[in-house]
Structure 1
Amino acid sequence: VLPELEPIMLGDSRKLPVLNDESLYLGIDIKSGDQYHYAVVEVPTDRLDRFVQIPKRKGRGGKVFIVLDNIMRACLPQMFRGVLPITSVKAYCFKFSRDAELELDAGITQSLIDKMERSLKQRRKAEAVRMVYDAKMPERLLETLRAEFGFGKYDSLIPGGRYHNSKDFMGFPNVGPKYLEFKPLPPIRIPRLDEQPNIFDAIKEKDVFLYYPYHSFDYVVDLLKTAALDPSVTKIQICLYRVARHSRIIDALVNAVHNGKKVLAVVELAARFDEEANINWAQSLTENGIEVIFGITGLKVHSKLLLIERREEGQTRYYSHIGTGNFNEKTARLYTDFTLLTHDQNMGKDVDAVFDFLRYTYKQPDFRLLLVSPINARRGLMELIDKEIDNAKAGYRAAMTLKCNNLVDRELVTKLYEASQAGVDVRLIIRGMCSLLAGVDGISENIRAISIVDRYLEHPRVYVFYNRGKPNYYMGSADLMTRNMDYRVEVLAPIFDEDAQGHLQDILDQQWHDNTRARILDREQSNTYASPAKKVARIRSQESIHRYIETGKLPRYPKSTMSKPATRRRKRNSK
């Protein structure tokens, strides 16, 4: 460990070098006679494991690990040997955060890439705005760090425990019995795609509905690889937001250009904390002959679109990919996401219109099927909710299921309260932020909300409206947030295939009846776990969904509202 440590002495008017705000540091308090000296040293988790296994000793069973921070504490006297006569030396963990907002000037003399690169350099040296530290740190050391980092009295200095960067525990080795580990859930193959020699024929025959990581992301990679080689394919257009470090998607796009295809890539340079990687990808794609554009100033392109144009019988035919997640092989193994592959030509024309909107910003697009932010997505969702409100007021059963990451848009929250008060049954599956309070008498008594956090990160955005027994299903990239409705290019697509609708409904129903990993978002905001009633089997939706996709078998739970007939309710006597 010792050769990896590079302590920095503080004070004496020395200028503190730029420290990495993603790293963990030890603040060192050195007493030398009657004087105190201070230093900082990075905990080098980028080069060494945070958890180090200690060799077995005779007579000691089990496995013993020591935290890298504590090894460093043991090294402190050696670290300063010959530098200072040490009376005592102690170390305390701390980490800090810089202002991560990118400031892009409005000048026209620089390209967008140049502006982004300049802003990224500024981010590395941005002001520190927050520090979390060991509460046992002496006040004299804390004040020295405060002065060195330039913290003001309004900045956040938060006392905490002895250890920080808990995310490192994600890499803690599995040392216990096998039953303590998650059982592997291998991706399930789709025979219809595996048996069809050409994936385009399979998509033309019937829409393909994928659900990662239960299905393999390889199907999308194979689609692009096939398109790169297929002599009938003339053009590929794609939106790239976050891609894997070693991306087979990028490889396939480059190969397509080498095989004479036209390729357009919309690269979002402002994907938060992936800006530098996306700048590098944009430059690499351009060098390989791919046309790269950056979308519309002031609008972040968050859509998950792929459009392949193919000549068939003398005509151009569209094959569309619309998804809820990124074109990223790594996150497709960790996040749950839906993908729709369709040969629907009206859908393809709409997807093509989205790319035209991004390329020719002066054109006003007209979408037949898609809900696209910031053009018609807000209006479209409000109209779908209003239709359920009208049905409820007319005495029909009315219901909706909304699944997304965050629900915080004031206008949509207000509209959902209105729906509840009209008698619409509203089910919310919200993983993250939810500004709506469910179950409040007279306001939201017909709204129920849950949140599921489990081994995979729940990432899809799906919106289902009962529509008098003929449900409308939408899926795509847009959360119910103001930024997604008004300040990003997002796409929500309708699902028409009845089998895909059925699968999606079964998946949503299993999540709604999860009584193991679901929390109930109630008006008290207690967020307690849902628990099974007596004689009701436990349902852990992520495991039951894998079993369902593999075998077609569903767990036992009450029938979904969405599959009930649209009977008209008997009107109450007004007296």
Structure 2
Amino acid sequence: MPKSKKSATPINLNDPQYYLNRELSWLEFNNRVLHEACDPRTPLLERLKFLAIFSSNLDEFFMVRVAALKQQVEAKVSQLTPDGRTPQQQLDDIRSTLVPQITKQHQHFDQALQPLLASHGIHILDYINLSQKQRTYLDNYYEDQIFPVLTPLAVDPSHPFPYISNLSLNLAVVVKNPDTEEEFFARVKVPSVLPRFLPLPPELGIQENEQPVNWTGVPLEQAIAHNLESLFPGMNIQEYHPFRITRDADLALEEDEADDLLLAIEQELRKRRMGGTPVRLEIQSQTPEAIRSRLLQDLELTESDVYEVDGLLGLRDLMYFMALPLPELKDPPRQSVVHSRLQRLKEPSLSPDALDMEEGKDFFAVIREKDLLVHHPYQSFSATVVRFITHAAHDPNVLAIKMTLYRTSGDSPIVNALIAAAENGKQVSVLVELKARFDEENNIYWARRLERVGVHVVYGLVGLKTHSKIVLVVRREKDRMRRYVHIGTGNYNPKTARLYTDLGLFSCREELGADITDIFNFLTGYSLQKSYRELLVAPVNMRDRFLSLIHREMENVQNGFSGRIVAKMNSLVDPQIITTLYEASRAGVQIDLIIRGICCLRPGLKDVSENIRVISIIGRFLEHSRIFYFYNNEQEEIYIGSADWMRRNLDRRVEVITLVKDSDIAKDLQEIMGIMLADNRQAWDLQPDGSYVQRQTHEDSPETNSQKTLMNMALRSTGIV
């Protein structure tokens, strides 16, 4: 393995030149999402999906990140980021980066995707181009289904500028009194309770070149705009222009002053629904200066907050078209398999005297045999994690279930299983993280339901989010109690588990069970425990342990041995971790990082990070698993868990990372990372300047798509292919 001796030249590794900006790195990630929408190798409707994801991601970015920067500017914060930027410099750079990306997005939709859609019988029409029959149908539909929902709001001295809700699409309308020639300004909200795109009946669709009529229709706002006379009878419609605003949507919560955290968050959610300060105005480029100025003045925004587009606003609504029954225009159906060791499970006996100890008979027997690793979505989440919790809920020998819930689905089978467990008389304790951003309302709903059936619900620790993904099941077996655990990298959410790649480890090893017990005591009671047997726990020991693992690789190289680190995560932001990785690189440690999103480390810098390589994989599934590998002079150690290398994960969240003890599972995890490092279809290489270059196939290097490879491996493991 190649090594390099540590440079004798002293270098200040905290110098801003060695760090990429967090916000600009995130924009680079979202640009890679946009590339999937522009890539002709991506199925057509999936390209629309990626356009929608690009827009949805930007909405959240403005609601949280841009809103925070604007608050810092207003508060005259002058503190620099690790890369040396002020809040205002970051806002300026965000805008200069975003404008060409947004232009590219809309041009690609209008000039490339719309013609392709039309060639497949999907026609998104402009109202002005409709035939008389089509107009008549839509006018009647408008009268029956749309008009009753609309509320025009006048703006004049007696009618102040109306509140405009976050992410709402609106029409700015100018009307004239024909008697007085006086002009008035009004706002009409495009109701979100109606579909954004209005389909025409198949018989009124457009058929070209013998293509089938798959969908023909118009955007909702155009149907409203061409029927405005009904909202302003007797007035002349002078002009109308769509606009959309984004507001600050982060919660401001003083936990230590809240007597009841649940009630405090409910109050903050009501404030969010009312909306925070506007942070972005989206308008069409042809919007007249008078309308533009009026909106800026009334919303208290500046020109730098305006984003002009040509075409439709709010392209996140393109997700609508993924519901079309056109499988030939989508990715092949996802085939999720049941792990080979779980294919012949029997349900638990309902008799408390039947201990089900025979190997292979139930889920617990499988785990007793040896640790079990599952990889989602390639292996079914429902047939593993959901089944494990459901199994425990109905097994008469299970006495207690404890788990953390950060995000879960709206119709969660996991929560239903916990409710059933409580009703079956088991001791059930659940930590529901009420502060999970944009899932607060859903989590409050589940917390109240769980409390009503007698589940012990706790809401975490003051000042810390509980982001760990852990389950503990206590089961009576003959003359002893045995603890079964699940430690995951992703949320207990069956819906997102179909789209996110995540890992889960099942075990009944005594040391691990004792550690997880200690974690729950830390979460639900009072604990100052600082050491754990097999776990890295944030904010207790995780940062120090990761730093020591990196230093160990450095020391091995300095002692003449090889050093190797491979880490997969969502984001790498923490300056101390980055500095230590630079030190390891300078010592000769070979480092490969698989980081989907934000990466503030600059790879490939002479005398600093020449031994560090960074890739990002953007594909059909959202890469979400976290894996950490350390060569350790041939005594390899590999870890999985919930934490990224970010300050918030290491210092402000309760996170759990576990050491993988089973040698077969460790080899499986190494194979997974090896497959990803060899990807030349969905992998992007991070350059020293912060840009990314997508890998290309060549004649001597056939396409290697890591997600397809892992999907096929899962199928082969069960004999399906």
1:27-176 alignment to 2 at 5 Å?
27-32=172-177, 34-50=181-197, 52-53=199-200, 55-56=202-203, 60-61=207-208, 62=211, 63=213, 64-80=216-232, 82=233, 84-86=234-236, 88-104=238-254, 106-107=256-257, 110-125=259-274, 126-149=276-299, 151-153=300-302, 156-173=305-322
For residues 69-120 of structure 1, what are the alpha-carbon distances to aligned partners after superposition, in whole Å with 9 as ceiling and x for unaligned? 222222223332x1x4215232223232234232336435x31112111222
Residue 191 of structure 1, CA deviation: 2.9
| Inter-partner Cα distance in structure 2 for 1:338 and 1:213 | 9
Are the counterparts in 1 of residues 241 and 284 from structure 2 also a CA contact under 8 Å?
no
SS in structure 2 of the partner of residue 528 of structure 1: strand
SS in structure 2 of the partner of residue 449 of structure 1: strand
**1:202 is matched with which residue?**
366
1:371-520 alignment to 2 at 5 Å?
371-520=536-685
| Inter-partner Cα distance in structure 1 for 2:385 and 2:565 | 30
SS in structure 2 of the partner of residue 467 of structure 1: coil
Q: Which moved more, 1:184-193 or 1:197-206?
A: 184-193
For residues 27-70 of structure 1, what are the alpha-carbon distances to aligned partners after superposition, in whole Å with 9 as ceiling and x for unaligned? 22334554332222222343224353464459832443422222
| Inter-partner Cα distance in structure 1 for 2:465 and 2:499 | 24
**1:523 is matched with which residue?**
688
SS in structure 1 of the partner of residue 157 of structure 2: coil
Q: Which moved more, 1:7-16 or 1:453-462?
A: 7-16
Residue 155 of structure 1, CA deviation: 7.4
**1:22 is matched with which residue?**
167
**1:231 is matched with which residue?**
396
| Inter-partner Cα distance in structure 1 for 2:326 and 2:427 | 53
| Inter-partner Cα distance in structure 2 for 1:192 and 1:349 | 25
For residues 8-34 of structure 1, what are the alpha-carbon distances to aligned partners after superposition, in whole Å with 9 as ceiling and x for unaligned? 222333245543303222222334554
Residue 500 of structure 1, CA deviation: 1.4
1:334-345 alignment to 2 at 5 Å?
334-345=499-510
Residue 272 of structure 1, CA deviation: 0.4
Are the counterparts in 2 of residues 452 and 458 from structure 1 also a CA contact under 8 Å?
yes
Point out the structure with the larger helix share: 2
**2:336 is matched with which residue?**
187
SS in structure 2 of the partner of residue 506 of structure 1: helix
TM-score (norm: length of structure 2) = 0.73
**1:560 is matched with which residue?**
none
For residues 188-238 of structure 1, what are the alpha-carbon distances to aligned partners after superposition, in whole Å with 9 as ceiling and x for unaligned? 122321223310000111211111111111121111111111111111000
Specify the code of the residue in structure 2 equivalent to 1:41: V
| Inter-partner Cα distance in structure 1 for 2:674 and 2:288 | 54
Are the counterparts in 2 of residues 354 and 365 from structure 1 also a CA contact under 8 Å?
no
For residues 104-149 of structure 1, what are the alpha-carbon distances to aligned partners after superposition, in whole Å with 9 as ceiling and x for unaligned? 36435x3111211122222223222322222322222223323333
Are the counterparts in 2 of residues 54 and 66 from structure 1 also a CA contact under 8 Å?
no
SS in structure 1 of the partner of residue 257 of structure 2: coil
Are the counterparts in 2 of residues 353 and 365 from structure 1 also a CA contact under 8 Å?
no
Specify the code of the residue in structure 1 equivalent to 2:536: L
| Inter-partner Cα distance in structure 2 for 1:464 and 1:26 | 54
| Inter-partner Cα distance in structure 1 for 2:317 and 2:220 | 11
| Inter-partner Cα distance in structure 2 for 1:117 and 1:24 | 26
Asked whether 1:220 is paired with 2:367, we answer no
| Inter-partner Cα distance in structure 2 for 1:178 and 1:31 | 49
Residue 156 of structure 1, CA deviation: 2.5
Are the counterparts in 1 of residues 489 and 625 from structure 2 also a CA contact under 8 Å?
yes
SS in structure 1 of the partner of residue 436 of structure 2: coil
For residues 380-402 of structure 1, what are the alpha-carbon distances to aligned partners after superposition, in whole Å with 9 as ceiling and x for unaligned? 11011111111111222211111
Are the counterparts in 1 of residues 155 and 162 from structure 2 also a CA contact under 8 Å?
no
Q: CA 1:105–1:418 in 2, change beyond 3 Å: closer, same or farther?
A: closer
Q: CA 1:232–1:324 in 2, change beyond 3 Å: closer, same or farther?
A: same
SS in structure 2 of the partner of residue 234 of structure 1: strand
| Inter-partner Cα distance in structure 1 for 2:205 and 2:479 | 79
TM-score (norm: length of structure 1) = 0.91
Specify the code of the residue in structure 1 equivalent to 2:533: R
Specify the code of the residue in structure 2 equivalent to 1:464: Y
| Inter-partner Cα distance in structure 1 for 2:469 and 2:255 | 28
| Inter-partner Cα distance in structure 2 for 1:51 and 1:526 | 40
| Inter-partner Cα distance in structure 2 for 1:59 and 1:101 | 47
| Inter-partner Cα distance in structure 2 for 1:483 and 1:519 | 26
For residues 292-318 of structure 1, what are the alpha-carbon distances to aligned partners after superposition, in whole Å with 9 as ceiling and x for unaligned? 111210000000010001112222211
Asked whether 1:270 is paired with 2:417, we answer no
Q: Which moved more, 1:60-69 or 1:302-311?
A: 60-69
Are the counterparts in 1 of residues 392 and 473 from structure 2 also a CA contact under 8 Å?
yes
1:309-328 alignment to 2 at 5 Å?
309-328=474-493
For residues 420-460 of structure 1, what are the alpha-carbon distances to aligned partners after superposition, in whole Å with 9 as ceiling and x for unaligned? 11111111111111000111111111111111111111111
Q: Which moved more, 1:159-168 or 1:504-513?
A: 159-168
CA RMSD in angstroms comes to 2.2
**1:354 is matched with which residue?**
519
1:256-335 alignment to 2 at 5 Å?
256-335=421-500
For residues 517-557 of structure 1, what are the alpha-carbon distances to aligned partners after superposition, in whole Å with 9 as ceiling and x for unaligned? 1111111333111112431110111111101122259xxxx
| Inter-partner Cα distance in structure 2 for 1:274 and 1:59 | 41
Are the counterparts in 1 of residues 171 and 243 from structure 2 also a CA contact under 8 Å?
yes
Specify the code of the residue in structure 2 equivalent to 1:524: D
Residue 335 of structure 1, CA deviation: 0.8
**1:8 is matched with which residue?**
153
Are the counterparts in 2 of residues 129 and 155 from structure 1 also a CA contact under 8 Å?
no
Q: CA 1:393–1:98 in 2, change beyond 3 Å: closer, same or farther?
A: same
Q: CA 1:257–1:177 in 2, change beyond 3 Å: closer, same or farther?
A: closer
SS in structure 1 of the partner of residue 236 of structure 2: coil
For residues 490-536 of structure 1, what are the alpha-carbon distances to aligned partners after superposition, in whole Å with 9 as ceiling and x for unaligned? 00011111221222112111111111111111113331111124311
Specify the code of the residue in structure 1 equivalent to 2:607: G
Specify the code of the residue in structure 2 equivalent to 1:202: V
Residue 169 of structure 1, CA deviation: 1.4
Count of aligned pairs between the two proteins: 549
Point out the structure with the larger strand share: 1
SS in structure 2 of the partner of residue 22 of structure 1: coil
Q: CA 1:178–1:294 in 2, change beyond 3 Å: closer, same or farther?
A: closer
Are the counterparts in 2 of residues 104 and 116 from structure 1 also a CA contact under 8 Å?
no
Please, which runs of 5 or more residues in structure 1 have no aligned partner?
A: 554-575
Specify the code of the residue in structure 2 equivalent to 1:52: P
| Inter-partner Cα distance in structure 1 for 2:160 and 2:663 | 66
| Inter-partner Cα distance in structure 1 for 2:205 and 2:504 | 55
Q: What is the identity percentage for the equivalent residue pairs of Structure 1 and Structure 2?
A: 34
Please, which runs of 5 or more residues in structure 2 have no aligned partner?
A: 1-141, 347-361
